[in-house]
Amino acid sequence: MDITAISAAELHTMLENKTISAVELAQAFLQRIAQVEDKVKAFVTLTEEMALDQAAKLDKKITRGEKLGPLAGIPMAFKDNMCSEGIRTTCSSRMLKNFIPPYAATVVERLQEAEAIVLGKLNMDEFAMGSSTENSAFFPTHNPWDLTRVTGGSSGGSVAAVAADEAVYSLGSDTGGSIRQPAAFCGVVGLKPTYGAVSRYGLIAFASSLDQIGPVTKTVRDNALVLNAIAGHDPKDSTSVPYEKPDYTKFLVNDIKGLKIGIPREYFGQGIDAEVSRVIQKAIETLKDLGAEIAECSMPHTEYAMPTYYLIAPAECSSNLARYDGVRYGHRAENSEDIISMFRKTRAQGFGPEVKRRIMLGTYALSSGYYDAYYLKAQKVRTLIKQDFDRALEKFDVLLSPTAPTPAFKLGEKSTDPLAMYMSDICTVPLNLAGLPGISIPAGYAGGLPVGLQLMTKAFGEGMLYRVAYTFEQNTDFHKLKPNLTAEVAS
Catalytic positions are: 79, 154, 178
**What DSSP designation does 387 have?**
H
Distance of CA 348 to the CA centre of its chain: 28
Per-position DSSP letters for 168-216, written without gaps between them: SEEEEE-SSSTTHHHHHHHT-EEEEPPTTTB--TTBPPS-TTT--EEEE
Residues in CB range of 233: below 8 A, 6 or more apart: 199, 240, 241, 242, 243
Three-class DSSP category at 240: coil
Which DSSP letter does residue 144 get?
T
Alpha carbon distance 171, 164 (integer Å): 15
Strands (E), 293-335: 293-297
CA distance linking residue 2 with residue 168, whole number of Å: 12
The DSSP symbol for 375 reads I
3-state secondary structure of 246: coil
- Helix 220-230 crosses helix 8-16 at what angle (to 10 degrees)? 80
The two most distant CA atoms of the chain are separated, in Å, by: 71
Angle separating helix axes 106-113 and 220-230, nearest 10 degrees: 110
Distance CA 207, CA 128 (A): 9
Residues facing 79 on adjacent strands: 122
For 456, the enclosing helix (H) or strand (E) is: strand 449-456
Q: What is the spatial distance between Cα 297 and Cα 449, in angstroms, rounded to a whole number?
A: 29
Backbone torsions φ then ψ of 147, nearest 5 degrees = -65, -10
The runs of H, that is alpha helices, within 76-170 are: 106-113, 156-163
Cα–Cα distance, 242 to 192 (Å, whole number): 18
Instruction: Tell me the pairing of strands 438-446 and 293-297.
Output: unpaired
C-beta separation of 114 from 58 below 8 A? no
